[in-house]
């Protein structure tokens, strides 16, 4: 898991979902807004019943995603990110999740342009 100071609050998540820009990668839908007041990027992962009816699978995806973020996060990316996994992630291995997170950070460094698939 990532430290609490790197996680978005519920209010920040709602704001990012409502007002943030959107981009899509192979495994995630990403909503993001510029992080003006803080130096570190902040993250949230939303897994819903639409992803999987089983809480065990949703929690596994959430834990894997947070671990990939923790290991691969880039402090040069000054955004608040909400990551929403796609159904495709249920069959993906951890390495694929890690690679996708790296792609997302690379694209955000280049000002949030579209991710080539």
Q: Which of 83, 64, 67 is nearest to 23 (CA)?
A: 83
Tell me phi and psi for residue 43, to 5 degrees.
-135, 155
At 26 the three-state DSSP class reads coil
The mean pLDDT of 82-102, rounded to a whole number, is 94
Residue 74 has pLDDT above 70, yes or no: yes
Q: What fold is seen in the domain 4-107? A: Ribosomal Protein S5; domain 2 (3.30.230)
pLDDT of 66: 93
Which of 60, 43, 59, 51 has its CA nearest to residue 101? 43
Q: What is the pLDDT of residue 109?
A: 84
Write down the domain spans for the chain: 4-107
């Amino acid at each position: 898991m990532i430290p609490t100071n790197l996680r978005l609050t519920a209010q920040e998540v709602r704001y990012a979902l409502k007002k943030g820009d959107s981009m899509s990668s192979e495994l995630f839908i990403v909503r993001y807004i510029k992080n003006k007041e803080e130096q570190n990027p902040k993250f949230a992962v939303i897994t819903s019943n639409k992803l999987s009816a089983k809480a065990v699978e949703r929690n596994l995806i959430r834990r894997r995603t947070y671990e990939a973020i923790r290991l691969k996060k880039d402090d040069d990316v000054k955004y608040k990110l909400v990551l929403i996994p796609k159904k495709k992630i249920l069959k993906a291995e951890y390495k694929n999740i890690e690679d996708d997170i790296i792609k997302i950070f690379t694209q955000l460094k280049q000002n949030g342009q579209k991710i080539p698939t």
